[in-house]
């Protein structure tokens, strides 16, 4: 029981990170209907920018404590969202209106570019970072087994909930969010009604990039080891989460992320660690085969 | 007409210069922000395990200047280029005329390559590599280009073929020629097995599930150590023989060199492998071209254009999709068996997602459904990749950038036109813009 509770805590904190990345996928898919394959690598860039910022600010002794972490997060969000914007501007915008596979290939190319750019510029070796957030609580004890809730996990959950709350406000209450939802429903009509669709799409990538940066920073702080390749698997799992929740649905992405995190954690804890990716992918295949629109997705009506 | 444009451009020059400078300036600023953290501050691990930053501002300055110059050049080029040239259908006709000559020349070159003076071991190995990708591209072309099913896990069938050959040869001692069809059948079987659950899925959902299947197969190969050797892979896979005559340096009675009474030379095996993959690739092409004219091939292309209309006209969608998966997978399996016998060593490392992505890129860059386009794209991408061998880790960066650039400049692929397979009366070229994309 205590063991399961511990896994639940671990699973939720992992799932929150997946959820943050998944929102970026689902948003882009909703608005321009393409798999932004480079999004996982944007997450990786976010983790690297955060690493550089931490080494500069904390290890360099400029600042300490929670203030420094907020600053690191802000820096990571600013630079990473610029990467998101650039990727859209360079690789996707020229292909708008082209046939559907073109942006997908371009996105795969961009993903290769980002990975190898970071490999060349930052080196192929893994970067270990000493823990920045330590300590925690013991919330339950069952015999020898103590259920730990670390400060890091609290930080992950609180940050994610805060960021998602801001994001939800942005999408549901602001004129930008209204424009985004309009573009999602019918881009051409939204354009005719005076919405700058190019700008809206760019801003979508900026928001997606900054959410990925939050995820990257939290991932770095939680696991302490990153390399240029972390984006691929995290990206695929987050996309899985987005599809699981019903692609295009924002609450669905977070729900899917949580589910993938929980499935992966429980599978590793009770069955085998090696096959944890197989578990996540099998669940994806099963869900799609049984309900092809995902958990919270809209049923698509096909017009002939 | 172009004179008018030039005169107009002359008159506009001062305004253009100001606009271009402003544009390039903004680009340089963006580049500065992009490169300052990741290039300018390199994180290195100190001997005591702590991280420290090594500043490299000179590199950042070079990159920013480069971005400025490139953008400036691009703006000027776009302004001077004038209106777009011939409409694409007319251009496609010209390309088609050239293409009719191009394909036989390319084929002749491929057949004669081992005899062209100056062709050494390195060139032949490169030829084998390119032809392997041509074959994989043609195999995937059946699934993506003809049937319109977006498959991101094609490398799984390549892996199934390679491991089938390795396992059959090692455990049962079957020869390459027995294993080749078996590997193809195994891969086709897996194609059907993985095709069944995804019959209802379309487009991107199909893409992501096939990607997941590809990863599942790779993870299983990686972890089923007792069967596949796990991450260490399988070594000592038998090399192919010339219909029972092994390539041996001893030059004895039962060997290839001994049988034909020639001097033993390691190049013999390479030449044999080269022709083997050439024949396998041509077989793939031949089967594809023939099937396209049959009801099955037409059903694939009809399904790509409109699945609902196909259903309404009574085409069996289940059979149509599964045959596409099975045939595509079978050729992937053949290529896998060839890969295993050529390398003599296989490991899950060779079957990562990036391989699937490269094969898909070859198909799309070649122009979906175009056989010659796939061959050209394979030569450009894989051969070009080899050209940058000296750049080492920069090579993948160039490769990815090339994918983006080709896609942006030619979204319909290098050969963006095709003649209809079946036509009533006069054959006309269809511009690729009129062919619906693979919608899955």
Does residue B251 lie in a domain region? no
DSSP classification of residue B389: G
Cβ neighbours for A138, distance < 8 A, ≥ 6 positions apart? A146, A147, A148, A149
Collapsing DSSP states into helix, strand and coil, what is residue A78? helix
> What pLDDT is attached to residue B45?
83
Residues B117 and B219 in one domain: yes
Q: Span A216-243, mean pLDDT?
A: 89
Tokens of B280: 């396998």
pTM for this prediction: 0.86
Cβ neighbours for B405, distance < 8 A, ≥ 6 positions apart? none
CA distances from B92 to A175, B96, B415, B426 (A): 45, 6, 9, 16
Residues B32 and B118 in one domain: no
Q: What is the ipTM of this complex?
A: 0.86
Which of B97, B17, B5 lies closest to B417 in space, CA to CA? B97
Does residue B250 lie in a domain region? no
Residues B116 and B142 in one domain: yes
Residues B33 and B125 in one domain: no
Give the number of other Cβ atoms within 10 Å of residue B78's Cβ.
10
Residues B77 and B120 in one domain: no
Model confidence at B431, pLDDT cuts 50, 70, 90, reads low
* B4 vs A225, residue with greater confidence: A225
CA triplet A73, A77, A83: central angle to 5 degrees? 145
Residue in this structure with the two tokens 């296989």, named with its chain if needed: B346
Model confidence at B429, pLDDT cuts 50, 70, 90, reads low
| Domain regions of chain A by residue span | 18-231
A72-86, A212-226, B52-66, B222-236: least confidently modelled range: B222-236
Model confidence at B9, pLDDT cuts 50, 70, 90, reads low
- B51-55 and A136-142 beta bridge pairing: unpaired
Q: Span B269-277, mean pLDDT?
A: 89
Find the domain containing B160 and state its range. Answer: 99-241+267-434
> What pLDDT is attached to residue B434?
52
User: Which of A98, A112, A247 faces B403 most closely, judged by CB atoms?
Assistant: A112
- Quick one: CA torsion of A233, A234, A240, A241, rounded to 10 degrees? 160
* Range picked from A52-66, B59-73, B255-269 for highest mean pLDDT: B59-73
CA A91/CA B176 separation, integer angstroms: 44
pLDDT tens column, B242-266: 776 777 666 666 677 777 767 777 7
Burial per residue of A141-178, b for 16 or more beta-carbon CB atoms within 10 angstroms, e otherwise:
eeeeeebebbebbebbbebbeebbeebeeebeeeeebe
Assign residue B378 the CATH number of its domain. Answer: 1.10.3470
- A225-226 and B417-418 beta bridge pairing: unpaired
Answer yes or no: are the C-beta atoms of B18 and B78 closer than 8 Å.
no
Last residue of a domain, one of B49, B81, B113: B81
Q: How far apart are the first and last CA of chain B?
A: 44
User: Which of A29, A274, A278 faces B216 most closely, judged by CB atoms?
Assistant: A278
Does residue B385 lie in a domain region? yes
Model confidence at B1, pLDDT cuts 50, 70, 90, reads very low
Chain A hits for B33, CB-CB cut-off 8 Å, are 79, 82
Give the number of other Cβ atoms within 10 Å of residue A257's Cβ.
31
Interchain contact, A120 vs B394, CB within 8 Å = yes
Q: For all residues of chain A together, what is the average pLDDT?
A: 87
- Which residues in chain A (95-134) have CB-CB distances under 8 A to chain B? 95, 98-106, 108-113, 115-125, 127-130
Residues B72 and B131 in one domain: no
How far is residue B67 CA from its own chain's centroid? Answer: 30
Residues B147 and B73 in one domain: no
pLDDT tens column, A16-55: 999 999 998 888 888 888 888 899 999 999 999 999 999 8
Q: Span B217-232, mean pLDDT?
A: 86
The tally of domains found in chain B comes to 2
Interchain contact, A240 vs B50, CB within 8 Å = no
Model confidence at A302, pLDDT cuts 50, 70, 90, reads low
Residues B397 and B272 in one domain: yes
Q: Span B407-430, mean pLDDT?
A: 66
Does residue B260 lie in a domain region? no
- Which residues in chain A (18-47) have CB-CB distances under 8 A to chain B? 29, 34-35, 45
* B432 vs A156, residue with greater confidence: A156
> What pLDDT is attached to residue B437?
46
Does residue B48 lie in a domain region? yes
Tokens of B230: 């796990």
Interchain contact, A55 vs B408, CB within 8 Å = no
* B299 vs B253, residue with greater confidence: B299
Does residue B421 lie in a domain region? yes
Q: Is the pLDDT of residue A205 over 70?
A: yes
């Amino acid at each position: 029981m205590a063991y399961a509770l511990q896994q639940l805590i671990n699973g939720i904190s992992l799932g929150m990170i997946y959820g943050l990345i998944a929102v970026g996928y689902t948003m882009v898919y909703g608005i321009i209907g393409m798999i932004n394959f480079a999004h996982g690598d944007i997450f990786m860039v976010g983790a690297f920018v955060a690493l550089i910022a931490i080494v500069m600010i904390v290890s360099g002794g400029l600042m300490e404590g929670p203030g420094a972490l907020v600053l690191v997060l802000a820096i990571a969000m600013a630079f990473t969202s610029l990467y998101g914007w650039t990727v859209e501007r360079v690789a996707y915008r020229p292909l708008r209106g082209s046939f559907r596979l073109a942006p997908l290939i371009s996105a795969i190319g961009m993903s290769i570019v980002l990975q190898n750019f970071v490999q060349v510029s930052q080196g192929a070796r893994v970067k270990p970072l000493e823990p920045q957030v330590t300590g925690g609580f013991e919330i339950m004890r069952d015999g020898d087994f103590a259920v730990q809730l670390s400060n890091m996990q609290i930080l992950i959950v609180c940050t994610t909930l805060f960021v998602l709350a801001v994001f939800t406000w942005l999408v549901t209450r602001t004129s930008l969010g209204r424009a985004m939802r309009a573009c999602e429903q019918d881009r051409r009509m939204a354009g005719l009604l005076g919405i700058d669709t190019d700008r809206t799409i760019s801003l979508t990538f900026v928001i997606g990039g900054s959410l990925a940066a939050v995820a990257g920073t939290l991932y770095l702080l939680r696991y302490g080891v990153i390399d240029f390749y972390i984006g691929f698997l995290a990206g695929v799992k987050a996309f899985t989460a987005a599809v699981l929740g019903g692609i295009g649905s924002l609450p669905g992405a977070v729900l899917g992320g949580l589910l993938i995190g929980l499935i992966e954690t429980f599978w590793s804890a009770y069955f085998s660690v090696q096959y944890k990716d197989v578990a996540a992918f099998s669940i994806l295949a099963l869900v799609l085969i049984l309900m092809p629109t995902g958990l919270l997705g809209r049923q698509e009506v096909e017009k002939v | 007409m172009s004179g008018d444009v030039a005169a107009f451009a002359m008159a506009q020059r001062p305004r253009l210069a100001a606009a271009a400078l402003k544009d390039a300036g903004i680009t340089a600023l963006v580049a500065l922000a992009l490169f300052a953290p990741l290039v300018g501050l390199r994180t290195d691990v100190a001997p005591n395990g702590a991280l420290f930053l090594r500043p490299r501002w000179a590199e950042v300055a070079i990159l920013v200047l480069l971005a400025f110059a490139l953008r400036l050049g691009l703006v000027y080029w776009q302004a001077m280029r004038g209106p777009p040239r011939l409409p694409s259908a007319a251009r496609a006709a010209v390309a088609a005329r050239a293409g009719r000559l191009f394909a036989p020349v390319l084929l002749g070159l491929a057949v004669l390559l081992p005899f062209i003076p100056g062709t050494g071991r390195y060139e032949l190995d490169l030829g084998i590599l390119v032809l392997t990708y041509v074959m994989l591209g043609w195999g995937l072309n059946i699934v993506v280009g003809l049937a319109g099913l977006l498959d991101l896990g094609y490398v799984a069938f390549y892996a199934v073929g390679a491991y089938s050959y390795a396992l059959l040869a090692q455990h049962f001692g079957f020869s390459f020629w027995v294993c080749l069809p078996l590997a193809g059948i195994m891969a086709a079987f897996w194609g059907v097995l993985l095709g069944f659950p995804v019959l209802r899925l379309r487009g991107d959902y199909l893409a992501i599930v096939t990607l997941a299947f590809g990863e599942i197969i790779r993870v299983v190969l990686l972890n089923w150590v007792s069967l596949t050797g796990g991450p260490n892979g399988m070594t000592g896979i038998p090399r192919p023989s010339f219909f029972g005559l092994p390539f041996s340096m001893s030059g004895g009675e039962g060997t290839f060199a001994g049988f034909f009474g020639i001097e033993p030379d390691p190049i013999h095996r390479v030449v044999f492998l080269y022709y083997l993959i050439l024949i396998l690739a041509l077989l793939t092409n031949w089967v594809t071209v023939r099937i396209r004219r049959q009801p099955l091939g037409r059903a694939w292309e009809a399904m790509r254009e409109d699945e609902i209309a196909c259903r309404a006209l009574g085409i069996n969608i289940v059979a149509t999709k599964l045959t596409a998966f099975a045939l595509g997978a079978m050729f992937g399996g053949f290529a896998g068996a060839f890969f295993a016998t050529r390398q003599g060593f296989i490991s899950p490392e060779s079957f990562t997602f990036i391989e699937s992505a490269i094969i898909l890129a070859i198909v799309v860059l070649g122009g979906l459904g175009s056989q010659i386009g796939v061959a050209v794209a394979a030569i450009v991408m894989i051969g070009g990749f080899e050209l940058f061998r000296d750049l080492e880790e920069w090579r993948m960066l160039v490769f990815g950038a090339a994918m983006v650039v080709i896609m942006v400049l030619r979204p319909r692929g290098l050969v963006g036109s095709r003649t209809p397979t079946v036509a009533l009366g006069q054959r006309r070229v269809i511009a690729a813009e009129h062919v619906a994309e693979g919608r899955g």
